[in-house]
Amino acid sequence: MNKKSDYNQLIYTDWILIETAFDPDQLHSRETIFTIGNGYLGTRGSFEEGYIRALPATFINGVYDHVPVVYTELANCPDWLPLILNINGDRFRFHEGEILQYDRQLDLRQGILSRSVRWCSPTGQTIDIEFERFASLADQHVLGQRCQITPVNFDGVVEIQASINGYPENQGFNHWEAIDQGKTAAGIWLHSRTRGSRIDIGMAARVVLLGTESALQVHTAPGYPTITATFLATPQQTVTVEKVVTVFTSREISQPVSAAQEKLAHLPDYITLRQANAQAWDEVWHYSDVAIEGDSKAAFAIRYNLFQLLIAAPRHDEKVSIPAKTLSGFGYRGHIFWDTEIFILPFFIFTQPALGRNLLSYRYHTLNGARRKASHYGYKGAMYAWESAVTGDEVTPRWSLPSDFYGNDIRIWCRDHEIHISSDISYAVWYYWQATGDHEWMQRCGAEIILDTAIFWASRVEFNSEQDRYEILGVIGADEYHEFVHNNTFTNRIVQWHLEKAVIVNDWLHQSFPERAKELDEQLQLNPETKSQWQQIAAKLWIPYDSSTGLIEQFQGFFQLEDINLNDYEPRTQSMQAILGIEKTNKLQVLKQPDVLMLLYMMRELGDFPYNQKSLQANWDYYAPRTDITYGSSLGPAIHAILASDLGKRAEAYQRFMQAAMIDLEDTRGNTADGIHGANAGGIWQAVVFGFGGIKLRDSRPAANPHLPQGWTGLRFKLHWRGEWHEFNLRPQITQGESHKGLILFAPSSSPIHGVIFDLDGVLTDTAEYHYLAWRKLADEEGIEFNRGANEALRGISRRASLMLIIKNKKYSESQIQAMLARKNRYYVEMIANITPKDLLPGAIALLDELRQQGIKIAIGSASKNAQMVVERLGIADQVDAIADGYSVQQPKPAPDLFLYAAEQLGVPPKQCLVIEDAAAGIEAALAAGMWAVGLGPCERVGAAHVVLPSLAGVTWAGLQAQLSKAVV
């Protein structure tokens, strides 16, 4: 299905982007969006014949060179595209003659860029020309180019010139020295070297002419080796020019020129190479495709953005990463930011985990640069650069040069104060480990990253003795409109999270890989005191959070800044900082991008503090209207789309998603010419999968809770989780209304039962004793009285609610509460590690088997966040259709949300569901959901249920139905 864009003659099909007219005003942005690549290199969509003011570029990942002011940049490599046509003496070029027909297509499925032109020369001769190019995904060192020439109304002489241009520029700066060039039996070759970094490049090219007889000649003008051919053309006769190029650098091989020549000599023909490329793309799309049904524009947009990520990801090199503008433009000089880890990496972790591992390994190989930065600023450990390149040293420019002659230079403070990146990288390491179970990489690389950056934070935080808390002063948070602030909540909380995980990783390493642990202890000077210090800092690091409202202050003093109504400045085409100036914007409650909301997004997957529905709603209401979501940062819209989905704001979620999806295709921010917005492309995938797909991660599998935008009839994608692939084919679902706020208890209708939802603890197995022992151990450590009688009050309620009952009126900070919750869970997990199917309670397995035989759907509805693990260890995962656990909903029992979610996962209406529970809170939740309820235990605890039984021992489905039929409706 085709979708015509309102933006300058673009058509979107399922897989192909079509440009139907050439617009010189869009030259540079179109060069960006028609970029092709293969992870080793990227080539902008410039014309083969050249064009005035064009910005052609081929960037090879990792080929950086020195440049004044900005330290280093990706060097624009020798151009492999030049293909000049002379038609009876008239040179083919777009700014001369007349373009009669024009069509340019980017085929995402095969990674092929093509262009079809009917051109009338200044002397009136009309010719059809078709170009095609690809960067082989099957062999990263191979590039293919083809030109087909068909005269329409003339006989004449046509000359072709196929070249390698050794004089590329980075917007006026040439990084290359010409070393040598020449010809071989196969064609031509070029040898160049970067001026500062001394990286050698070898390129070789051959040309094959089909459809005519002509001798090929080689011309070796300095820095511009060329193959030429001249032939007599006749009307309707098609002549094909096939050009194949090979490229190597000294980064991957010691003799790149010889390697390029050798490979070129043994390559098959152009068609065979193109077919191999297409097959490689088929394999990639098999796992990475996202298919949207019912919205052709969105369907193309998601594939387009994923294509741009796939062609920028290093497939065979773990010492490079994806630059902020990918390999498609000169923006940000090819530097790497937190964009890769937080926005881009999830797509690769869950669809191309080997590439995700490469991207994280880059951070391991640049640890020494991070250590040098920490040392420079007087700190310990590893402090990652805000912008990095090859070595990991800081390459953020110190100054931004003005665009007019009399303007002042602008100091760039991100290099000094935007330091949350060290924890952002550790966050990515942790989630890669959780998703893949890659213990080998974790012990070899990941643990060192997390531990050494934790050492940095221990030296960076400051203790406020008057407030008895740790603080982080003088930072820039995710929101870059405010420089040099104190106690930015995003930074403080991600550091706290980081230190908590560092303790876990350190313990795991000592238990699982003691030799590596010993090695790192010696290398990083780790000892038990270090671990205690991390725990103390995490417990006392200040988080400006109001528990009564759920509102979070972005940083200390933010609420005292002057407020602003962004609607007063509409319509506009600039950022608020451009309109108001840096100093004025710094004093206002206006955000460049999500900051508090970004924190909530990063904590949402596991429901970590401060993510909960109350906090999300409060902070959305406060911060979303104050965020410059249109012209602030491109990182914002996708994150807003995900959180809006969480809040049930489907229309706004879709609006923000499409805003993100079309940033480059429609150049909505006016800077696509600088390159693809890589972080935004990654955020788009997250918005679809985590937002609209509602994916939540579990120990054994990812689970979906879809809320598709209006008009979407289907959403399909695959996710890789711990060695297995999970396919999702999501369709629109009838959603439940709002939760019953009053928890009014009532009996369901007489509809037949098609789904049974089991609580876990006390129903199918008895882990209550383990919970009690874990709580008692925690209480003993805190000096709190706790016994079995007190434990009875905890039955059926959430972990946090249980802790609140245990500590009573004793005062703890939110961070201390979070630390205690983590400790209790750790104790519990350790205790249940040895659970087996023998721990199923009497009657459980027999009833489960009978229900399966009767075709009744089965779900687990447990408040525990460890339910998935327990189900696996009990050996009943194959008998369960869905699991609703402590991660699934925000409101715990006695709210009905958990059971409503379970019913939705089963695809069974609530009135056709039966809940089997052993806690009063669970029975109340089941009745509030409009479901049948069976209580196990004494009547004083579960007497509100329709049927009360002592246990499942001897219970049959037929007998249970008989008792339910007697219940009062």
User: Which residues are known catalytic residues?
Assistant: 480
For residue 304, give both structure tokens. Answer: 């387009």
Instruction: Tell me how crowded residue 700 is: count the other CB atoms within 10 A of its CB.
Output: 15
Closest CA to 476 of 396, 413, 398: 413
What is the rounded distance in angstroms from the CA atom of residue 392 to the CA atom of residue 320? 10
Distance, CA of 554 to CA of 574 (rounded, Å): 24
DSSP 596-659: HHHHHHHHTTTT-TT-SHHHHHHHHHHHGGGB-TTTT-TTHHHHHHHHHHHTT-HHHHHHHHHH
d(CA 895, CA 898): 7
Task: Please answer whether residues 225 and 163 qualify as being in contact, where contact means their C-beta atoms are separated by less than 8 angstroms.
Answer: yes
* Integer Rg of the chain from CA: 31
Do 526 and 506 meet the contact criterion of CB atoms below 8 Å apart? yes
Q: Cα–Cα distance between 170 and 696 in angstroms, integer?
A: 44
778 touches 823 (CB < 8 A): yes
Strand, coil or helix: what is 36? strand
Are 561 and 588 contacting, i.e. CB atoms less than 8 angstroms apart?
yes
* Cα 307 from Cα 36, distance rounded (Å): 9
Give the CA distances from residue 380 to residues 321, 345, 461, 752, in Å, rounded to whole numbers and listed in that order. 25, 27, 11, 66
**Which of 922, 897, 911 is closest to 739 using CA atoms?**
897
> What is the spatial distance between Cα 781 and Cα 760, in angstroms, rounded to a whole number?
28
Does residue 821 contact residue 858 with C-beta atoms inside 8 Å? no
Element at 262 (helix H, strand E):
helix 256-266
Copy the structure tokens of residue 22.
């050439």
Q: Are 709 and 295 in contact (CB under 8 A)?
A: yes
In the sheet with 724-730, reading across from the earlier edge strand, the strands are 291-293, 714-721, 724-730
Residue 354 region by backbone torsions, left for phi larger than 0, else alpha for psi between -120 and 50, else beta: alpha
Question: Which residue type is seen at 844?
Answer: A
Cα–Cα distance for residue pair 127/101, rounded to 1 Å: 10
Tokens 């595209």, residue located:
81
855 residue type, one letter: G
Decide: helix, strand or coil at residue 931. coil
Q: Which residue do the tokens 């929101």 mark?
A: 479
Give the integer Cα–Cα distance in Å for 681 and 662: 10
Phi, psi of 493 (to 5 degrees): -70, -40
Work out the widest C-alpha separation in the chain, in whole angstroms. Answer: 101
- 10 Å CB burial of residue 418 (0-12, 13-18, 19+) is buried
- The dihedral over CA atoms of 777, 782, 786, 788, expressed in degrees to the nearest 10, equals -10
Nearest CA-CA partner of 287 in 339, 342, 355, 340: 355
Whether residue 477 contacts residue 491, with contact meaning beta carbons closer than 8 Å, is answered with yes
C-alpha distances in Å from residue 434, one per residue of 270, 690, 697, 702, 821:
43, 16, 10, 12, 20
C-alpha to C-alpha distance for 960 and 934, rounded to whole angstroms: 9
Determine whether 462 is exposed, middle or buried from the number of CB atoms within 10 Å of its CB (0-12, 13-18, 19+). Answer: exposed
